[in-house]
Structure 1
Amino acid sequence: MAIEIKAINKSYGDKKVVDNVSVTIPKGAITSFIGPNGAGKSTLLAIISRLLSADSGDVFLNGQTLKQQKSADIAKQLAILKQSNHINLRLTVEDLVAFGRFPYSKGNLTKIDRTFIDNAIAYMGLDELRHQYIENLSGGQRQRAYIAMTLAQDTDYILLDEPLNNLDMKHSVQIMKVLRQLVTELNKTVVIVIHDINFASCYSDYIIAMKDGKLVQQGCVADMMRSDILQEIYNMPIPIQEIEQQRIAIYFRN
């Protein structure tokens, strides 16, 4: 058991953006949050990572509430990559990845820290770019650098808010393959907010659907990638076809 979310509520004024959500995110898997805009997915992810405070309810990480744990201890267990992850500093890839070691080094990098940095850069295929400035990278390269930063943080849990934003098909596939490898090769627990339900279908183990701040449906890919379930979530008919043993939503024809 990895992350337990119990009766989480969050409002902005009169608008309830997360409405009494309770769900358990399994360990050692990719869990994708799907749903229309304004469903509350990103807000819930921010609450799980303590970037936002819930109005009520609790998030449990390894059996303890976040409230019971120090921020420094949480940072050694859980890494978050926000949707807007641009840093207004002139940094190289190596500089950026080094930020992932801050919970341990506090800015004074040790030999062990540098080993984690080197391993993260290598794992993400960025060795040839390690001295390049972030601002000069393509969108896909930059996103891989940010994921390398979270890898260097060496947490069991990695949360990513719309990691495919502004990426073309090639780079989106590259990122999703990497996330899949983090689970199968490094036994990480990956949680993502994602709009493309076909990427969720092809790369996830578990899918959680939200709508209007509420939890609508949850389950394994086979249970969630069904026309009746998707119509309930998106208010439109979405036929499903099986292509090379993957369940694909044919929503672009409606």
Structure 2
Amino acid sequence: MITIEGVRREYSSEVAIGPVDLIIPAGGITALIGPNGAGKSTLLTMVGRLMGMDAGAIEIAGYDVAKTKSADLAKIVSVLRQENHFITRLTVRQLVGFGRFPHTKGRLNRADEEVISRAIDFLDLGALEGRYLDELSGGQRQRAYVAMVLAQDTEVVLLDEPLNNLDMKHAVTMMAQLRRAADELGRTIVIVLHDINFAGHYADRICAMKDGRVVEFGSPEEIMTDAVLTRIFETPVQVIAGPHGPLAVYY
């Protein structure tokens, strides 16, 4: 479980995130949605302690994010940011192996190699594991980064727009794989998404943000309504019945 209490980040007297009070239950997928500048990525990076807070407190599985040692926190929560700047002359397997660093400090053993192989197989990267990152498409690299995060083998996984650089086919595949990670591996996944329909179809819970605050939190059925989405995005939205659940249509 992730508990966020009174969290605030101030950029100026006119621009701030929070205060945010939110409890994200353990397990499943929680999607953060909202218009650009709503504070989704900022909140995610504060939860992962990649950005400091000006006020408030965050706990993950009972650990105070601000006070827990980095080495211990890295065994509890893993984070994938939007921007990744790894040296391109790494192979996919070498990149995924970085996910084991909190556990091994670079000294991989047979058990670590097995975890790396499982993460590579889970993201269907077996045929690419010997390829260098600069030889891959943007979508292939994105899958490799997600495999690295899964190889870290943490209870909580934070993903900031992991569908970047993915076409429709691979975006669907990625969300299906994350759904499997939540269901089969028991991970708690918190993900920033721009596509509300991916959130509605794959997430267990949706947290909607606007102007730096949480304005709605609930099940997809509760959030995927004309009134709620129109208010959040400030543009007319109609929710229709799709073959696999509600679909938001913008007009």
Q: Given the two structures, how large is their TM-score scaled by the length of structure 2?
A: 0.97
* Contact in 2 for aligned 1:30/1:191 (Cα 8 Å): yes
Aligned to 1:207: 206
Task: Give 1:174's aligned amino acid.
Answer: T
Aligned to 2:80: 81
* Contact in 2 for aligned 1:197/1:249 (Cα 8 Å): yes
Mapped partners of 1:151, 1:129: distance in 2? 17
Mapped partners of 2:231, 2:140: distance in 1? 36
Aligned to 1:65: 64
- Quote the offset at 1:231 in angstroms: 1.1
Segments of structure 1 that go 5 or more residues without pairing to the other structure are none
Aligned to 1:162: 161
Three-state SS of the structure 2 residue aligned to 1:116 is helix
> For 1:14-49, what per-residue CA distance to the aligned partner results, in whole angstroms no more than 9, with x for missing partners?
243312101011111100000000001100000000
Three-state SS of the structure 1 residue aligned to 2:66 is helix
Task: Give 1:43's aligned amino acid.
Answer: T
* Contact in 2 for aligned 1:49/1:78 (Cα 8 Å): yes
Per the alignment, do residues 71 and 15 of structure 1 end up closer, same or farther by CA in structure 2, a change over 3 Å counting?
farther
Task: Give 1:137's aligned amino acid.
Answer: L
Task: Give 2:115's aligned amino acid.
Answer: F
Matches within 5 A, 1:2-21: 2-21=1-20
Q: Which contiguous aligned blocks of 4+ residues in structure 1 show a shift greater than 4 angstroms?
A: none
User: RMSD of the alignment, in Å?
Assistant: 1.1
Aligned to 2:196: 197
- Quote the offset at 1:144 in angstroms: 1.2
> For 1:82-129, what per-residue CA distance to the aligned partner results, in whole angstroms no more than 9, with x for missing partners?
011231341000110010011011111122211111111111111111
Segments of structure 2 that go 5 or more residues without pairing to the other structure are none
Aligned to 1:44: 43
Task: Give 2:230's aligned amino acid.
Answer: Q
Task: Give 1:21's aligned amino acid.
Answer: V
Task: Give 2:103's aligned amino acid.
Answer: Y
State how many pairs are aligned. Answer: 251
Three-state SS of the structure 2 residue aligned to 1:27 is coil
Three-state SS of the structure 1 residue aligned to 2:117 is helix
Q: Given the two structures, how large is their TM-score scaled by the length of structure 1?
A: 0.96
Task: Give 1:110's aligned amino acid.
Answer: N
